């Protein structure tokens, strides 16, 4: 399946090895990987967590953890930039319209070790957490997503980021995903 950016999501780029989920950026491509909850969707409210270690020096790519309804395009995103800037985007979409976005610089390199990324989605507030610290929140000023959403993880090459195909394979590692 084509990514929303460059390249394709390919099943062979997602493997479980040594108790971790590996999501690869293969050498000399702009392909990535994606996984979503299987049957149905999760309720829109709750706490969603993923423990992630991003790839190092993969300029032009994202590692993500998000909630998404592919039918109406409601979405709540955590997107990590893999370019050594320690940037993370927190974004909320209602019916494919961006209603909230906050770009934050983390005080650590997310490629050096695992960190827990969390979305708390409750009536009246969606908050974004890293390692137990609240980094951003949205109080519903422009409405709230109301549809049930699947949990997704993926890695990909957005069209708006600069970066070239890599001479080595990079990968994001996921230790767990919890709801």
Q: To which residue do tokens 């890695």 refer?
A: 155
* Secondary structure E strands in the chain: 14-17, 20-25, 33-36, 46-53, 62-68, 75-81, 87-94, 97-105, 115-122, 125-130, 133-138, 150-156, 170-178
pLDDT tens digits, one per residue of 70-113 = 999 999 999 999 988 999 999 999 999 999 999 999 999 999 99
pTM of the predicted structure, to 2 decimals: 0.94
Structure tokens at 40: 């149905």
Distance CA 153, CA 158 (A): 15
Query: Percent of the chain having pLDDT more than 70?
Result: 97
């Amino acid at each position: 399946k084509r990514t929303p950016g460059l390249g394709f999501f390919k099943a062979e780029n997602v493997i479980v090895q040594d108790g971790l989920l590996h999501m690869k950026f293969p050498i000399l491509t702009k392909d990535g990987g994606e996984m979503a909850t299987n049957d149905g969707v999760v309720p829109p409210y709750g706490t969603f967590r993923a423990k992630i270690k991003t790839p190092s020096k993969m300029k032009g790519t994202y590692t993500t953890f998000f909630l998404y309804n592919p039918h109406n395009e409601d979405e709540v995103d955590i997107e990590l930039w893999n370019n050594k800037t320690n940037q993370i985007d927190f974004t909320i979409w209602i019916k494919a319209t961006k209603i909230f976005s906050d770009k934050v610089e983390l005080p650590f390199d997310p490629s050096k070790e695992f960190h827990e990324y969390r979305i708390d989605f409750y009536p009246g507030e969606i908050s974004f957490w890293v390692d137990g610290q609240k980094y951003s929140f949205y109080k519903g000023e422009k409405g709230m997503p109301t549809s049930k959403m699947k949990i997704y993880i993926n890695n990909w090459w957005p069209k708006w980021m600069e970066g070239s195909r890599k001479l080595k394979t990079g990968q994001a590692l996921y230790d767990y995903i919890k709801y």
